[in-house]
Structure 1
Amino acid sequence: MAAEPEGTPCWVDAMFADVEGAKSFYGDVLGWTFGEAASQYGDYTQAYANGKAVAAVVPPMPGQEGQSAWCLYLASPDVAATAKKIKDNGGEVLMEPMQVGGFGSLAIAREPSGAVFGVWQAGSHEGFEAKAVPGAYCWAEFFTRDPAKLDTFLPAVFPYGAKQMQDDAADFRVFSVGDEMALGRMRMTDDFPPEIPSYVNVYFTVPDCDSTVAKATKRGGVLRFGPVDTPFGRFAALSDPQGAAFSVIDLQKKEGEMPRMADV
Protein backbone atom coordinates (compact mmCIF):
# COMPACT_ATOMS: atom_id res chain seq x y z
CA MET A 1 0.00 0.00 0.00
CA ALA A 2 1.33 3.42 -0.97
CA ALA A 3 0.84 6.70 0.86
CA GLU A 4 -2.35 8.51 -0.12
CA PRO A 5 -2.23 11.39 -2.64
CA GLU A 6 -1.83 14.85 -1.13
CA GLY A 7 -5.04 16.17 0.42
CA THR A 8 -6.69 12.77 0.72
CA PRO A 9 -8.24 11.92 4.11
CA CYS A 10 -5.93 9.23 5.46
CA TRP A 11 -6.62 8.76 9.20
CA VAL A 12 -8.86 9.64 12.15
CA ASP A 13 -8.26 9.60 15.87
CA ALA A 14 -9.79 11.08 19.01
CA MET A 15 -8.79 11.89 22.57
CA PHE A 16 -11.06 10.51 25.28
CA ALA A 17 -10.83 11.13 29.02
CA ASP A 18 -12.37 7.67 29.42
CA VAL A 19 -10.54 5.57 26.84
CA GLU A 20 -11.96 2.30 28.13
CA GLY A 21 -15.46 3.76 27.87
CA ALA A 22 -14.78 4.85 24.29
CA LYS A 23 -13.43 1.41 23.40
CA SER A 24 -16.51 -0.23 24.87
CA PHE A 25 -18.90 2.15 23.04
CA TYR A 26 -17.28 1.95 19.60
CA GLY A 27 -16.58 -1.75 19.97
CA ASP A 28 -20.30 -2.31 20.42
CA VAL A 29 -21.57 0.29 17.94
CA LEU A 30 -19.05 -0.12 15.11
CA GLY A 31 -17.69 -3.59 15.86
CA TRP A 32 -14.14 -2.35 16.49
CA THR A 33 -11.45 -4.36 18.18
CA PHE A 34 -8.38 -2.71 19.68
CA GLY A 35 -4.64 -3.26 19.69
CA GLU A 36 -2.27 -2.81 22.58
CA ALA A 37 -1.80 0.72 23.92
CA ALA A 38 1.54 2.17 22.78
CA SER A 39 2.87 3.51 26.08
CA GLN A 40 5.81 5.29 24.40
CA TYR A 41 3.26 7.29 22.36
CA GLY A 42 0.89 8.34 25.13
CA ASP A 43 -1.08 5.06 25.16
CA TYR A 44 -2.17 5.59 21.55
CA THR A 45 -4.41 2.62 20.71
CA GLN A 46 -5.40 1.57 17.20
CA ALA A 47 -8.90 0.37 16.36
CA TYR A 48 -9.55 -2.38 13.82
CA ALA A 49 -12.50 -3.41 11.66
CA ASN A 50 -12.17 -7.03 10.59
CA GLY A 51 -8.46 -6.88 11.36
CA LYS A 52 -7.79 -3.70 9.36
CA ALA A 53 -6.62 -0.50 11.08
CA VAL A 54 -9.35 2.15 10.75
CA ALA A 55 -8.90 4.67 13.61
CA ALA A 56 -7.26 5.26 16.98
CA VAL A 57 -8.15 6.43 20.47
CA VAL A 58 -5.87 8.05 23.01
CA PRO A 59 -6.13 9.69 26.45
CA PRO A 60 -5.59 13.46 26.50
CA MET A 61 -2.12 14.75 27.20
CA PRO A 62 -1.76 16.96 30.29
CA GLY A 63 -3.24 20.35 29.51
CA GLN A 64 -5.28 19.07 26.55
CA GLU A 65 -8.29 17.89 28.50
CA GLY A 66 -11.58 19.09 27.07
CA GLN A 67 -14.35 18.17 24.68
CA SER A 68 -13.70 14.89 22.87
CA ALA A 69 -13.72 15.22 19.07
CA TRP A 70 -12.69 13.15 16.08
CA CYS A 71 -9.70 14.58 14.20
CA LEU A 72 -9.39 13.98 10.47
CA TYR A 73 -5.88 13.84 8.98
CA LEU A 74 -5.15 14.90 5.40
CA ALA A 75 -2.20 13.35 3.59
CA SER A 76 0.87 15.42 2.81
CA PRO A 77 4.19 14.50 1.16
CA ASP A 78 5.88 17.21 3.27
CA VAL A 79 4.17 18.17 6.52
CA ALA A 80 6.49 21.15 7.13
CA ALA A 81 5.68 22.62 3.71
CA THR A 82 1.96 22.07 4.30
CA ALA A 83 2.20 23.77 7.71
CA LYS A 84 3.78 26.80 6.04
CA LYS A 85 0.96 26.93 3.46
CA ILE A 86 -1.58 26.75 6.28
CA LYS A 87 -0.02 29.78 7.99
CA ASP A 88 0.44 31.66 4.70
CA ASN A 89 -3.26 31.27 3.90
CA GLY A 90 -4.78 32.44 7.16
CA GLY A 91 -4.82 29.17 9.09
CA GLU A 92 -3.23 28.44 12.44
CA VAL A 93 -0.85 25.60 13.28
CA LEU A 94 -1.82 24.38 16.74
CA MET A 95 0.82 21.65 16.89
CA GLU A 96 3.97 22.21 14.85
CA PRO A 97 5.21 19.35 12.64
CA MET A 98 6.40 16.49 14.81
CA GLN A 99 7.89 13.13 13.91
CA VAL A 100 6.26 10.08 15.49
CA GLY A 101 9.02 7.48 15.48
CA GLY A 102 9.16 5.71 12.14
CA PHE A 103 5.39 5.92 11.71
CA GLY A 104 5.38 9.37 10.08
CA SER A 105 5.05 13.05 10.94
CA LEU A 106 2.01 15.09 11.93
CA ALA A 107 0.76 18.60 12.49
CA ILE A 108 -2.54 19.84 13.91
CA ALA A 109 -4.09 22.96 12.43
CA ARG A 110 -7.16 25.20 12.47
CA GLU A 111 -8.55 26.53 9.21
CA PRO A 112 -9.61 30.22 9.09
CA SER A 113 -13.28 29.55 9.86
CA GLY A 114 -12.38 27.54 12.96
CA ALA A 115 -12.42 23.80 12.20
CA VAL A 116 -9.48 21.75 13.52
CA PHE A 117 -7.85 19.07 11.37
CA GLY A 118 -4.61 17.13 11.15
CA VAL A 119 -1.91 16.69 8.50
CA TRP A 120 -0.08 13.38 8.15
CA GLN A 121 3.14 12.62 6.27
CA ALA A 122 3.31 8.85 6.07
CA GLY A 123 6.23 6.77 7.19
CA SER A 124 5.55 3.13 8.00
CA HIS A 125 1.99 4.10 8.98
CA GLU A 126 0.33 5.04 5.71
CA GLY A 127 -3.17 5.50 7.09
CA PHE A 128 -6.42 3.60 6.76
CA GLU A 129 -6.02 -0.08 5.94
CA ALA A 130 -9.69 -0.18 4.89
CA LYS A 131 -12.29 2.38 3.80
CA ALA A 132 -16.01 2.22 3.03
CA VAL A 133 -16.52 -1.22 4.56
CA PRO A 134 -18.45 -1.86 7.81
CA GLY A 135 -16.69 -0.18 10.72
CA ALA A 136 -14.37 1.89 8.51
CA TYR A 137 -14.22 5.56 7.58
CA CYS A 138 -15.82 6.53 4.29
CA TRP A 139 -16.35 10.31 4.15
CA ALA A 140 -15.90 13.63 5.96
CA GLU A 141 -17.35 17.10 5.77
CA PHE A 142 -16.20 20.46 7.08
CA PHE A 143 -19.15 22.22 8.72
CA THR A 144 -18.53 25.98 8.71
CA ARG A 145 -20.29 29.25 9.38
CA ASP A 146 -17.97 31.05 6.95
CA PRO A 147 -17.76 28.97 3.75
CA ALA A 148 -16.04 31.73 1.78
CA LYS A 149 -12.97 31.52 4.04
CA LEU A 150 -12.82 27.73 3.88
CA ASP A 151 -13.46 27.60 0.13
CA THR A 152 -10.45 29.86 -0.43
CA PHE A 153 -8.22 28.16 2.12
CA LEU A 154 -8.51 24.48 1.22
CA PRO A 155 -7.50 24.70 -2.49
CA ALA A 156 -4.66 27.05 -1.55
CA VAL A 157 -3.17 24.47 0.81
CA PHE A 158 -4.04 21.21 -0.99
CA PRO A 159 -4.33 20.43 -4.73
CA TYR A 160 -8.13 20.35 -4.72
CA GLY A 161 -10.62 20.83 -7.48
CA ALA A 162 -14.10 21.90 -6.37
CA LYS A 163 -17.73 21.48 -7.41
CA GLN A 164 -20.74 23.25 -5.92
CA MET A 165 -24.08 21.49 -5.46
CA GLN A 166 -26.81 23.16 -7.49
CA ASP A 167 -29.49 23.12 -4.83
CA ASP A 168 -31.10 26.07 -3.07
CA ALA A 169 -31.83 23.93 0.00
CA ALA A 170 -28.19 23.57 1.08
CA ASP A 171 -24.87 25.32 0.47
CA PHE A 172 -22.67 22.28 -0.16
CA ARG A 173 -19.34 21.94 -1.96
CA VAL A 174 -17.18 18.92 -2.78
CA PHE A 175 -13.38 19.03 -2.98
CA SER A 176 -11.63 16.44 -5.14
CA VAL A 177 -8.13 15.07 -5.59
CA GLY A 178 -7.86 14.28 -9.27
CA ASP A 179 -11.05 12.40 -10.19
CA GLU A 180 -11.68 11.23 -6.63
CA MET A 181 -14.04 13.09 -4.29
CA ALA A 182 -12.10 13.79 -1.09
CA LEU A 183 -14.16 16.02 1.22
CA GLY A 184 -17.42 17.86 1.57
CA ARG A 185 -18.07 21.37 2.87
CA MET A 186 -21.44 22.33 4.37
CA ARG A 187 -22.56 25.79 5.47
CA MET A 188 -23.88 25.65 9.04
CA THR A 189 -27.41 27.02 9.20
CA ASP A 190 -29.25 28.65 12.10
CA ASP A 191 -30.38 25.14 13.08
CA PHE A 192 -26.96 24.75 14.71
CA PRO A 193 -26.75 26.24 18.20
CA PRO A 194 -24.51 29.34 18.13
CA GLU A 195 -22.09 27.84 20.66
CA ILE A 196 -21.13 25.03 18.24
CA PRO A 197 -17.98 26.11 16.35
CA SER A 198 -16.95 25.01 12.87
CA TYR A 199 -15.90 21.36 12.92
CA VAL A 200 -15.12 18.30 10.80
CA ASN A 201 -17.70 15.50 10.79
CA VAL A 202 -16.49 12.00 9.95
CA TYR A 203 -18.67 9.21 8.58
CA PHE A 204 -18.22 5.54 9.45
CA THR A 205 -19.72 2.80 7.30
CA VAL A 206 -22.29 0.49 8.89
CA PRO A 207 -24.31 -2.46 7.55
CA ASP A 208 -27.59 -1.04 8.91
CA CYS A 209 -28.04 2.60 9.91
CA ASP A 210 -31.14 2.16 12.07
CA SER A 211 -29.84 -0.73 14.14
CA THR A 212 -26.54 1.12 14.66
CA VAL A 213 -28.42 4.20 15.88
CA ALA A 214 -30.39 1.98 18.28
CA LYS A 215 -27.17 0.50 19.66
CA ALA A 216 -25.54 3.92 20.00
CA THR A 217 -28.43 5.53 21.84
CA LYS A 218 -28.83 2.50 24.11
CA ARG A 219 -25.16 2.92 25.04
CA GLY A 220 -25.55 6.62 25.89
CA GLY A 221 -24.98 8.20 22.49
CA VAL A 222 -27.23 11.05 21.33
CA LEU A 223 -29.01 11.10 17.97
CA ARG A 224 -28.53 14.54 16.42
CA PHE A 225 -30.10 14.03 12.97
CA GLY A 226 -31.75 11.27 10.96
CA PRO A 227 -31.75 8.51 10.05
CA VAL A 228 -32.52 9.79 6.56
CA ASP A 229 -32.30 8.32 3.07
CA THR A 230 -30.10 10.09 0.51
CA PRO A 231 -28.62 9.26 -2.92
CA PHE A 232 -25.36 8.48 -1.09
CA GLY A 233 -26.84 6.13 1.52
CA ARG A 234 -28.99 6.11 4.65
CA PHE A 235 -27.22 8.08 7.37
CA ALA A 236 -27.58 9.56 10.83
CA ALA A 237 -25.56 12.07 12.85
CA LEU A 238 -24.71 11.16 16.44
CA SER A 239 -22.52 12.11 19.33
CA ASP A 240 -20.94 9.53 21.61
CA PRO A 241 -21.30 9.54 25.42
CA GLN A 242 -18.21 11.75 25.73
CA GLY A 243 -19.51 14.29 23.24
CA ALA A 244 -17.54 13.42 20.08
CA ALA A 245 -19.67 13.95 16.97
CA PHE A 246 -19.70 11.41 14.16
CA SER A 247 -22.05 10.04 11.52
CA VAL A 248 -22.89 6.53 10.38
CA ILE A 249 -23.99 5.58 6.87
CA ASP A 250 -25.30 2.47 5.15
CA LEU A 251 -23.82 2.85 1.67
CA GLN A 252 -26.01 0.08 0.23
CA LYS A 253 -29.34 1.81 0.88
CA LYS A 254 -29.46 4.70 -1.58
CA GLU A 255 -32.57 6.64 -2.57
CA GLY A 256 -33.19 9.64 -4.82
CA GLU A 257 -31.32 11.28 -7.67
CA MET A 258 -27.75 12.42 -7.33
CA PRO A 259 -27.57 16.23 -6.98
CA ARG A 260 -26.29 18.29 -9.89
CA MET A 261 -22.77 19.63 -9.31
CA ALA A 262 -21.05 22.49 -11.14
CA ASP A 263 -17.36 23.35 -11.33
CA VAL A 264 -16.30 26.44 -9.39
Structure 2
Amino acid sequence: MAVRPEGTPCWADAMFTDLEGAKTFYGAVLGWTFGEASSEFGNYTQAFKDGKAVAAVVPPMPGEDSPSAWCLYLASPDAAATVERIRAAGGEVLMEAMQVGDFGTMALAKEPTGAVFGVWQADKHEGFEKIGEPGAYAWAELCTRDTARTDAFLSQVFPYRAQQMAEEGVDYRVYNLGENPVLGRMEMGSEFPAGLPPFVCVYFAVDDCDAAVAKATELGGSLQFGPMDSPFGRFAAVTDPQGAAFAVIDPGRTEGAMPALTDVA
Protein backbone atom coordinates (compact mmCIF):
# COMPACT_ATOMS: atom_id res chain seq x y z
CA MET A 1 0.00 0.00 0.00
CA ALA A 2 1.41 3.40 -1.00
CA VAL A 3 1.93 6.11 1.59
CA ARG A 4 -1.00 8.53 1.52
CA PRO A 5 -0.73 12.02 -0.01
CA GLU A 6 -0.11 14.83 2.49
CA GLY A 7 -3.28 15.75 4.39
CA THR A 8 -5.02 12.40 3.86
CA PRO A 9 -6.67 10.88 6.94
CA CYS A 10 -4.52 7.81 7.53
CA TRP A 11 -5.13 6.52 11.08
CA ALA A 12 -7.33 6.84 14.17
CA ASP A 13 -6.82 5.86 17.78
CA ALA A 14 -8.39 6.53 21.15
CA MET A 15 -7.35 6.45 24.80
CA PHE A 16 -9.50 4.50 27.26
CA THR A 17 -9.18 4.06 31.03
CA ASP A 18 -11.07 0.77 30.70
CA LEU A 19 -9.25 -0.79 27.76
CA GLU A 20 -10.99 -4.15 28.06
CA GLY A 21 -14.37 -2.41 28.18
CA ALA A 22 -13.50 -0.50 24.98
CA LYS A 23 -12.50 -3.73 23.27
CA THR A 24 -15.78 -5.38 24.24
CA PHE A 25 -17.82 -2.39 23.03
CA TYR A 26 -16.12 -1.86 19.68
CA GLY A 27 -15.79 -5.57 19.09
CA ALA A 28 -19.57 -5.89 19.34
CA VAL A 29 -20.52 -2.67 17.51
CA LEU A 30 -17.94 -2.69 14.70
CA GLY A 31 -16.84 -6.32 14.61
CA TRP A 32 -13.26 -5.56 15.63
CA THR A 33 -10.72 -8.02 16.91
CA PHE A 34 -7.58 -6.92 18.71
CA GLY A 35 -3.89 -7.71 18.52
CA GLU A 36 -1.43 -8.10 21.34
CA ALA A 37 -0.80 -5.00 23.46
CA SER A 38 2.60 -3.45 22.75
CA SER A 39 4.13 -2.91 26.21
CA GLU A 40 7.04 -1.03 24.63
CA PHE A 41 4.58 1.64 23.45
CA GLY A 42 2.29 2.00 26.46
CA ASN A 43 0.15 -1.08 25.69
CA TYR A 44 -0.92 0.38 22.37
CA THR A 45 -3.29 -2.19 20.86
CA GLN A 46 -4.30 -2.36 17.22
CA ALA A 47 -7.85 -3.18 16.14
CA PHE A 48 -8.51 -5.35 13.11
CA LYS A 49 -11.44 -6.08 10.83
CA ASP A 50 -11.10 -9.18 8.66
CA GLY A 51 -7.42 -9.28 9.57
CA LYS A 52 -6.76 -5.70 8.37
CA ALA A 53 -5.64 -2.91 10.74
CA VAL A 54 -8.41 -0.31 11.12
CA ALA A 55 -7.67 1.64 14.34
CA ALA A 56 -6.06 1.33 17.78
CA VAL A 57 -6.87 1.73 21.46
CA VAL A 58 -4.49 2.59 24.27
CA PRO A 59 -4.70 3.15 28.05
CA PRO A 60 -3.79 6.62 29.40
CA MET A 61 -0.25 7.33 30.51
CA PRO A 62 0.24 7.20 34.31
CA GLY A 63 -1.08 10.42 35.84
CA GLU A 64 -2.92 11.46 32.67
CA ASP A 65 -6.57 12.37 33.13
CA SER A 66 -7.74 13.26 29.63
CA PRO A 67 -11.29 12.34 28.56
CA SER A 68 -11.65 9.50 26.08
CA ALA A 69 -11.79 10.76 22.49
CA TRP A 70 -11.01 9.54 19.00
CA CYS A 71 -8.00 11.18 17.35
CA LEU A 72 -7.67 11.36 13.56
CA TYR A 73 -4.17 11.45 12.06
CA LEU A 74 -3.39 13.25 8.80
CA ALA A 75 -0.56 12.01 6.61
CA SER A 76 2.63 14.03 6.27
CA PRO A 77 5.90 13.38 4.41
CA ASP A 78 7.72 15.43 7.09
CA ALA A 79 6.00 15.67 10.47
CA ALA A 80 8.45 18.27 11.81
CA ALA A 81 7.78 20.56 8.84
CA THR A 82 4.02 20.12 9.26
CA VAL A 83 4.36 21.06 12.94
CA GLU A 84 6.07 24.32 11.95
CA ARG A 85 3.26 25.13 9.51
CA ILE A 86 0.71 24.38 12.24
CA ARG A 87 2.39 26.94 14.50
CA ALA A 88 2.67 29.53 11.73
CA ALA A 89 -1.04 29.14 10.92
CA GLY A 90 -2.12 29.76 14.52
CA GLY A 91 -2.48 26.20 15.75
CA GLU A 92 -1.18 24.81 19.02
CA VAL A 93 1.33 21.96 19.10
CA LEU A 94 0.49 19.51 21.89
CA MET A 95 3.25 17.02 21.10
CA GLU A 96 6.29 17.73 18.97
CA ALA A 97 7.17 15.35 16.16
CA MET A 98 8.30 12.15 17.88
CA GLN A 99 9.60 8.96 16.30
CA VAL A 100 7.67 5.84 17.32
CA GLY A 101 10.15 2.99 16.86
CA ASP A 102 10.31 2.04 13.21
CA PHE A 103 6.55 2.55 12.75
CA GLY A 104 6.74 6.25 11.89
CA THR A 105 6.76 9.74 13.40
CA MET A 106 3.79 11.35 15.12
CA ALA A 107 2.75 14.75 16.42
CA LEU A 108 -0.41 16.06 18.09
CA ALA A 109 -1.92 19.51 17.61
CA LYS A 110 -4.99 21.70 17.97
CA GLU A 111 -6.32 23.83 15.17
CA PRO A 112 -7.04 27.46 16.22
CA THR A 113 -10.59 26.80 17.47
CA GLY A 114 -9.58 23.82 19.61
CA ALA A 115 -10.15 20.60 17.65
CA VAL A 116 -7.37 18.08 18.31
CA PHE A 117 -5.82 16.05 15.51
CA GLY A 118 -2.67 14.05 14.85
CA VAL A 119 0.05 14.11 12.20
CA TRP A 120 1.57 10.85 10.98
CA GLN A 121 4.75 10.41 8.93
CA ALA A 122 4.66 6.77 7.93
CA ASP A 123 7.50 4.32 8.06
CA LYS A 124 6.56 0.66 8.57
CA HIS A 125 3.06 1.58 9.75
CA GLU A 126 1.35 3.18 6.74
CA GLY A 127 -2.06 3.51 8.40
CA PHE A 128 -5.49 2.10 7.58
CA GLU A 129 -5.35 -1.23 5.77
CA LYS A 130 -9.08 -1.08 4.99
CA ILE A 131 -11.23 2.00 4.25
CA GLY A 132 -14.92 2.49 3.53
CA GLU A 133 -15.91 -1.11 4.28
CA PRO A 134 -17.91 -2.32 7.32
CA GLY A 135 -15.83 -1.93 10.48
CA ALA A 136 -13.35 0.46 8.87
CA TYR A 137 -12.80 4.21 8.72
CA ALA A 138 -15.13 5.93 6.24
CA TRP A 139 -15.01 9.73 6.70
CA ALA A 140 -14.24 12.52 9.15
CA GLU A 141 -15.57 16.00 9.84
CA LEU A 142 -13.91 18.81 11.76
CA CYS A 143 -16.75 20.43 13.73
CA THR A 144 -16.20 24.04 14.80
CA ARG A 145 -18.13 27.22 15.63
CA ASP A 146 -15.57 29.55 14.01
CA THR A 147 -15.46 28.25 10.46
CA ALA A 148 -13.39 31.12 9.06
CA ARG A 149 -10.46 30.45 11.40
CA THR A 150 -10.57 26.71 10.80
CA ASP A 151 -10.79 27.10 7.02
CA ALA A 152 -7.85 29.51 6.92
CA PHE A 153 -5.79 27.13 9.05
CA LEU A 154 -6.48 24.00 7.01
CA SER A 155 -5.70 25.76 3.74
CA GLN A 156 -2.38 27.04 5.10
CA VAL A 157 -1.19 23.75 6.58
CA PHE A 158 -2.28 21.18 3.98
CA PRO A 159 -2.44 21.25 0.15
CA TYR A 160 -6.22 21.07 0.05
CA ARG A 161 -8.65 22.28 -2.61
CA ALA A 162 -11.76 23.57 -0.84
CA GLN A 163 -15.37 23.33 -1.99
CA GLN A 164 -18.38 24.82 -0.23
CA MET A 165 -21.68 22.97 -0.06
CA ALA A 166 -24.28 25.07 -1.86
CA GLU A 167 -27.19 24.38 0.46
CA GLU A 168 -29.14 27.14 2.19
CA GLY A 169 -28.72 27.23 5.96
CA VAL A 170 -25.81 24.76 5.94
CA ASP A 171 -22.17 25.81 6.34
CA TYR A 172 -20.28 22.71 5.24
CA ARG A 173 -16.99 22.60 3.38
CA VAL A 174 -15.27 19.67 1.70
CA TYR A 175 -11.48 19.51 1.46
CA ASN A 176 -10.06 17.64 -1.51
CA LEU A 177 -6.66 16.34 -2.54
CA GLY A 178 -6.78 16.49 -6.32
CA GLU A 179 -10.25 15.21 -7.18
CA ASN A 180 -10.58 13.12 -4.02
CA PRO A 181 -12.65 14.43 -1.09
CA VAL A 182 -10.77 13.60 2.11
CA LEU A 183 -12.17 15.75 4.96
CA GLY A 184 -15.31 17.66 5.86
CA ARG A 185 -15.66 20.83 7.92
CA MET A 186 -19.00 21.42 9.64
CA GLU A 187 -20.26 24.49 11.47
CA MET A 188 -21.49 23.62 14.96
CA GLY A 189 -24.98 25.10 15.15
CA SER A 190 -27.64 25.06 17.84
CA GLU A 191 -28.04 21.30 17.47
CA PHE A 192 -24.66 20.87 19.23
CA PRO A 193 -24.58 21.23 23.06
CA ALA A 194 -23.37 24.72 24.02
CA GLY A 195 -20.49 23.42 26.14
CA LEU A 196 -19.18 20.95 23.57
CA PRO A 197 -15.73 22.03 22.33
CA PRO A 198 -14.73 21.76 18.65
CA PHE A 199 -13.74 18.21 17.68
CA VAL A 200 -13.06 15.86 14.80
CA CYS A 201 -15.86 13.34 14.31
CA VAL A 202 -14.59 10.03 12.93
CA TYR A 203 -17.07 7.94 10.91
CA PHE A 204 -16.83 4.15 10.78
CA ALA A 205 -18.67 2.22 8.09
CA VAL A 206 -21.24 -0.41 9.07
CA ASP A 207 -23.51 -2.67 7.04
CA ASP A 208 -26.60 -1.70 9.09
CA CYS A 209 -26.68 1.69 10.83
CA ASP A 210 -29.75 0.97 12.93
CA ALA A 211 -28.37 -2.36 14.16
CA ALA A 212 -25.05 -0.72 15.07
CA VAL A 213 -26.86 2.00 17.04
CA ALA A 214 -29.02 -0.59 18.81
CA LYS A 215 -25.94 -2.58 19.81
CA ALA A 216 -24.09 0.56 20.94
CA THR A 217 -26.93 1.72 23.19
CA GLU A 218 -27.49 -1.80 24.50
CA LEU A 219 -23.86 -1.81 25.65
CA GLY A 220 -24.08 1.55 27.42
CA GLY A 221 -23.41 4.00 24.60
CA SER A 222 -25.58 7.06 23.95
CA LEU A 223 -27.25 8.11 20.71
CA GLN A 224 -26.55 11.79 19.95
CA PHE A 225 -28.09 12.18 16.51
CA GLY A 226 -29.91 10.04 13.94
CA PRO A 227 -30.11 7.53 12.43
CA MET A 228 -30.70 9.73 9.38
CA ASP A 229 -30.73 9.05 5.64
CA SER A 230 -28.55 11.17 3.36
CA PRO A 231 -27.06 11.05 -0.16
CA PHE A 232 -23.86 9.72 1.47
CA GLY A 233 -25.51 6.94 3.46
CA ARG A 234 -27.60 6.34 6.57
CA PHE A 235 -25.68 7.62 9.58
CA ALA A 236 -25.85 8.35 13.30
CA ALA A 237 -23.66 10.01 15.91
CA VAL A 238 -22.92 7.98 19.04
CA THR A 239 -20.96 8.35 22.28
CA ASP A 240 -19.39 5.20 23.70
CA PRO A 241 -19.73 4.26 27.41
CA GLN A 242 -16.44 6.05 28.22
CA GLY A 243 -17.46 9.29 26.50
CA ALA A 244 -15.66 9.02 23.15
CA ALA A 245 -17.81 10.37 20.30
CA PHE A 246 -17.88 8.82 16.85
CA ALA A 247 -20.31 8.18 14.01
CA VAL A 248 -21.47 5.13 12.11
CA ILE A 249 -22.57 5.19 8.47
CA ASP A 250 -24.03 2.64 6.09
CA PRO A 251 -22.74 3.99 2.76
CA GLY A 252 -24.81 1.45 0.85
CA ARG A 253 -28.13 2.99 1.94
CA THR A 254 -28.38 6.41 0.28
CA GLU A 255 -31.28 8.77 -0.23
CA GLY A 256 -31.56 12.01 -2.20
CA ALA A 257 -29.37 13.79 -4.71
CA MET A 258 -25.78 14.70 -3.96
CA PRO A 259 -25.50 18.37 -2.91
CA ALA A 260 -23.84 20.82 -5.28
CA LEU A 261 -20.33 21.94 -4.36
CA THR A 262 -18.77 25.27 -5.32
CA ASP A 263 -15.01 25.77 -5.57
CA VAL A 264 -13.60 28.18 -3.02
CA ALA A 265 -10.98 30.61 -4.33
TM over 0.5: yes
| Alignment match, 1:181 | 181
Residue in 2 that maps onto 1:32: 32
What is the CA–CA distance in structure 2 between the aligned matches of 1:169 and 1:32, rounded to whole Å? 38
Quote the offset at 1:65 in angstroms. 1.8
Which letter maps to 1:196?
L
Aligned pairs for 1:75-224 (under 5 A) are: 75-224=75-224
Give 1:191 shift.
2.1
Cα separation, 2, equivalents of 1:220 and 1:202: 19
Quote the sequence identity (%): 65
Gaps of 5+ in 1: none
Partners in 2 of 1:257 and 1:195 — Cα distance? 34
**1:108-160 deviations in Å (ceiling 9; x for gaps):** 00000110000000000000000001100010000001000010000100000
One-letter code aligned to 2:50: N
Residue type at the aligned position of 2:96: E
Cross-structure match for 1:48: 48
Distance 2:83 2:30 in 1: 33
| Cα separation, 2, equivalents of 1:96 and 1:63 | 20
The residue identity in structure 1 corresponding to 2:16 is F
Q: State how far apart, in whole Å, the 1-side matches of 2:64 and 2:162 are.
A: 34
User: In 2, distance between residues paired with 1:170 and 1:114?
Assistant: 21
Alpha-carbon distance between aligned partners in 1 of 2:152 and 2:115, rounded to the nearest angstrom: 14
CA deviation after TM superposition for structure 1 residue 250, in Å: 0.4
Give the Cα–Cα distance (whole angstroms) in 1 for the partners of residues 262 and 38 of structure 2: 46
User: What is the CA deviation profile of residues 46-81 of structure 1, one whole-angstrom value per residue up to 9, with x for unaligned ones?
Assistant: 000111000000001123322100000000000000
Give the whole-Å Cα distance in 1 for the aligned partners of 2:243 and 2:261: 33
In structure 2, distance between residues paired with 1:224 and 1:37: 31
Rounded to whole Å, the distance in 2 between the matches of 1:83 and 1:20 is 33
The amino acid of 1:4's aligned partner reads R
Aligned residues: 264
**CA offset at residue 192 of structure 1?**
1.5
1: CA distance between counterparts of 2:63 and 2:92? 19
SS of alignment partner, residue 249 of structure 2:
strand
Question: What's the offset of the Cα at 1:170?
Answer: 1.3
Gapped regions of structure 2 (runs ≥ 5): none
Whole-angstrom CA distance in 2 between matches of 1:189 and 1:52 = 36
3-state SS of 1:77 partner: coil
- SS at 2:256's partner residue? coil
Partners of 1:146 and 1:170 in 2: how far apart? 14
AA matched with 2:117: F
TM, length-normalised to structure 1: 0.99
Q: Alpha-carbon deviation of 1:194?
A: 1.8
- Paired letter, 1:239: T
Q: Within 2, Cα distance between the matches of 1:240 and 1:201?
A: 13
In structure 1, C-alpha distance between the alignment counterparts of 2:61 and 2:77, rounded to whole Å:
27
3-state SS of paired residue (2:229): strand
